[in-house]
Structure 1
Amino acid sequence: MDVQAEQAFEFLIQNLAQIPRNIARHSLAALRYAHLYLPDVVMRFWQTRTSGTPIAELSDEHYTVFYDAAWELARIGVLRPGRVAPRNMEQANDFGDHWSITKFGFEWLARASSRPFLDMSRMSEVLSSFEPTFGAGFGQRAVEAVRTYRNANYLASCAMAGAAAESILLAAAIAKSGDEAKMLKMYESAGGRSRVTTYLTGQATPAMQRQFGAALHILHYWRDDAAHGKQTTISEVESYSAISELLRLAQFASDNWADLTR
């Protein structure tokens, strides 16, 4: 049994997104007066994935990943524990099994359920693997970009992806110069980003300069557009693209680290 947390998270989202906002109380009766009765969803998931294993014989391992996913949705405000309107139903076994969708949750689900599946737990692992090269600042920003995408906060995700790209540029320049203070001062000066980029790639081949410049596009666009105070129309599509471009930049810089920093 190997279910990534992201699979459970996505399965819950797809199930919850099918529940209408104005569901009638008599329809709620079939759902035990809650939008989600977690054991039922867990059983539906495993019925399509187990071969010859009776549902009654599922172990705690088969369930806990879904309870964790439900608490994650509660943490960001999509769910709240308990029935829709308990009305003095004082049953201890309700806690953990019964969940209701919040007003914010219905709005969030409408956005999140329409996006293409992207295994964010795996994406976090891949981006985190570059942290030894690019530093803790990169790791922090890259993980935040992934987490905010997962929570459907697409503007924040793009801003963090741009900030993580900035960390890659600075890490490479510092590694090349050996003088962190000097590079930070250069970066913070007028036209600093362009100057640091030129310093880093000035002795590289034209082909590498072009490739690095193209990969660094994520910084020029998302760091400038997403992080500024003006209203934006950034959506899931742009956020998905930003994380993908960040991964491309990280891979290119890692593969060519020796040439970039010598």
Structure 2
Amino acid sequence: MFWVLLLLLAWGFAGFACTRLCLAAGRAGTAERAAATADDRHDLTLYEAAFLSGGPARVADLTMVRMARQRRLLLAHTGWATVVNPRGHDEMERFVIAAIGPDGQSRIAPVRTAAARSEAIRHLGDRLERAGLAVPAGAGTDVASAVRLVRAAAPAVLVLAATALLLPSDTELSSLMVGLWFLLPLLLTLGFLVIAHFELRPYTRWASPAGQLLLGTLTARRDRDDDDDFGDGADRDGNESGFLTSLATRGIRALAEPELRAAFNHRDQPWRE
């Protein structure tokens, strides 16, 4: 009767994986219903667009590049950042300047990491989540990991079934009957995978469905007034605004300047004067 223990293991794997997928899908559905109430007239700021597109690290990149384009921060191709003007225009810029340190010079990588963990970005994420534009922590990744778990459970059931069939039987139960018993948990996992494929909306890591919709309709920024709800003042040049919008939504790969790309992609090496 050892095959019964293997069958119980198969049901355990299948049941755990499918239950986790149900719970993750339920949380994602709650987030989607909240997103449905989001104000579709919300005008995304550059910081918000950066967060929804690439998370905290993207916001930090945007802040530093924006300061560099305005000649208030020097980003060297060697991977170092140097403060030119120590007066930040907003909370994020002030945090970047503080993270660089009193010497006014630091490697870009640790500044980027520190800025991505700042209170300013955390508050930004909280505001977007309350507005239904950002995915609640773990919602999108939970669904993806749960689907992967169900995918792993299906071959695990097959392995257990094959093991049970290869074992010498001490009962009169035929191999066909044993296989049919294992077919039930296998059908359960495969059925859940089919349902997930057709019913579960693909979630990004940061943007909810409402946030994805706004990102999809985002166009190049124009001149903004000093009272911009960006909270930091927008760029005064239309082309510059379009450049920063592209950076916010596409990331460092949108940078046309080779030196700027090299600054962010530079690997840590000893600093040389």
* Pair in the same fold by TM > 0.5: no
TM-score range, shorter chain: under 0.3
The higher-RCO structure (CA 8 Å, 6+ apart) is 2
TM-score for the superposition, normalised by structure 2:
0.26
TM-score for the superposition, normalised by structure 1:
0.27
Determine which structure has more spread, i.e. the larger CA radius of gyration: 2
